[in-house]
Amino acid sequence: MPALSVRSLSKRFELYDRPVDRLKQTLWRGKRQFYREFWALRDVGFTLSAGQALGVVGRNGSGKSTLLQLIAGTLAPTCGEIDAPGRVSALLELGSGFNPEFTGRENVYLNGAILGLAHAEMRALMPELLEFADIGDFVDRQVKTYSSGMALRLAFAVATAVAPRILIVDEALAVGDEAFQRKCFARIEKIRESGAAILFVSHAPAQILELCDVALLLDAGEMVLLDEPRRVVPEYQRILYASPDRAARLRERLRRGLPATEPEPAAHAGVTTAAPPPDAAAPVTIETAAPVATLDPDLRSASAVEYAAHGARIGTPRIITPGGDAVNVLVRGETYIVDYRVEFQRPARRVRFGMMVKTTSGLELGGGTQPEAGDLDREFAAGECVDVRFAFRCQLFAGMYFLNTGVLGEIDGTDTYLHRRVDAVAFRVQPDPSIRAAGYVDFDIQASLAPAAECADGRS
């Protein structure tokens, strides 16, 4: 029996321009329409097996939270069916199930009652729950005195302590600190191993790739793609960074089963769309070609910032292959070159050219400077141009990254940035189906085992 079955699920909201229009709609008893229809979700369907984790991705306003609220039962669908046997535990908007005037302990009992647990059952779970939340004496203080992190700790502890059949997590873990996030993901994995199904919304592709078996891409309330995360995440990133017109065209191609960069994927085990083709049960074999670097014209940096020039100007940076082809979709383990031209507008000395790779959160992963600190004798004249190149081996795991470029130098005796371009290039690294890794950087670790004659140093 499936853990969750969603069929033709849709949700419509009525938008009124003025409060009086809502009254008119009531008085006219539906004979006239005083509202505008907004479909937050249209015709979404999938089946999720026990023990599977489904990652839901999409741009802001794509319908992710609406879908989870419908499954959790906090919203009623306009049409469609949800079959969710067993207890559904949801961590949606932070603290949405807490009364701020109640203490943490009182809210624990209240939420337990909402989930169908008796007072005695919650009292038995309380020691384990409070140990996980680790908020100390604050459990007996009003929730309105909590920080956002404390509210998250208690909410997650309640949601996961009641042995749910389905666990729903909607981006709430982004509030917690790193140590607590580690505890949460370990708890989620334990719940999944017990046979529960997980629905997980996150804007962090690395979390989707690591945690989930299946991913669902929503856009403009429509179900665009349902497949393995390594296929869905790149398409999500293409839509995310495309212009509105191109995003609409990409969405339509994906809905018609025509991905922009890959052949139509095979159905994922345990997951089917709402209306599978007649031969969906037939075995399908697809030859998977080795990944190659490509140039995605839809992948552009929306956060690019160009600082004022002070004696030099950087041209448009790009990433190229050793053969000179421009690319922005890279393959882990291959060598690429950061290439840009600098034109000097004023004489400069002690010039350093630089590049830096960052994550979407702004974390600086590393970069390079040329020339080295001990080789700064060259002076550049006004009007002189130089082509700068940094060769690097891509050791990054799948995800989105950004490239910064900058030029420092001394002008009129002052050492300063001559020009900077921040987030100048957006690029992504393709998923590697042979690994399931967390983090950002592949350290290329070589492990080995050797028989030990004896453990003289006491190791065991």
Q: Region 203-229: what's the mean pLDDT?
A: 86
Q: Region 78-89: what's the mean pLDDT?
A: 89
From-to residues of CATH 3.40.50.300 in the chain: 4-86+165-255
**Per-residue pLDDT tens for 15-27?**
998 989 888 888 8
- Check pLDDT > 70 for residue 164: yes
Q: Are 249 and 243 in contact (CB under 8 A)?
A: no
- Check pLDDT > 80 for residue 385: yes
What's the CATH code, domain 305-429? Answer: 2.70.50.60
Q: How far apart are the first and last CA of the chain?
A: 45
Banded model confidence at residue 39, pLDDT cuts 50, 70, 90:
very high
| Amino acid (one-letter) located at 358 | K
Q: Which CATH number fits domain 4-86+165-255: 3.10.50.40, 1.10.1200.10, 3.30.565.10, 3.40.50.300?
A: 3.40.50.300
Q: What pLDDT score was predicted for residue 177?
A: 63
Q: Are 35 and 14 in contact (CB under 8 A)?
A: yes
Angle, vertex CA 15, rays to CA 14 and CA 19, nearest 5 = 115
Considering the chain, what is the average pLDDT of its residues?
83
Which residues, 6 or more positions from 202, have their beta carbon under 8 angstroms from its beta carbon? Answer: 55, 57, 171, 173, 174, 208
Residue 262 and residue 294: Cα distance in Å, rounded?
12
Q: What pLDDT score was predicted for residue 237?
A: 83
| Whole-prediction pTM | 0.65
Residue 340 and residue 107: Cα distance in Å, rounded?
58
Instruction: Note the Cα 335 to chain centre separation in Å.
Output: 26
Residue 12 and residue 21: Cα distance in Å, rounded?
18
From-to residues of CATH 2.70.50.60 in the chain: 305-429
Which residues, 6 or more positions from 285, have their beta carbon under 8 angstroms from its beta carbon? Answer: none
Q: What pLDDT score was predicted for residue 96?
A: 57
